[in-house]
Amino acid sequence: MLNTIYFKRNITKFDEMDLTGQCPGCFITFGTWAIDGNNLTYTWEGSEPTTSTYVYSGVVDEMSITGTYTHTSESNGTWGAIGL
């Protein structure tokens, strides 16, 4: 499970809480995000979507985000987020 926090100034912190060897609850700064209207793009590595391993795209609707992701070596999928 990927938990992501989006901060001002396009800073993103994430924690992959279910991966063996990871530090659950230890959010690290990684990637960048951009928003255009209600369309969010989270680039997991750096700021260039065409060279990043993961790219998450979604639509913000009040306190939730739903969308798709792409990965360079895995199948693509869907994702979602809610604000608490």
pLDDT tens, position by position, 27-54: 666 778 888 999 988 887 767 777 778 8
Q: What's the pLDDT at 38?
A: 92
Looking at residue 76, its pLDDT comes to 86
Average pLDDT of span 45-69: 84
Looking at residue 59, its pLDDT comes to: 94
Pick the residue with more confidence: 16 or 67? Answer: 67
Round to whole Å and give the CA distance between 66 and 81: 7
SS3 35: strand
What tokens were used for 52?
A: 């990043």
Please give the model's pTM, rounded to 2 decimal places.
0.65
Q: Where are the domains of the chain?
A: 2-82
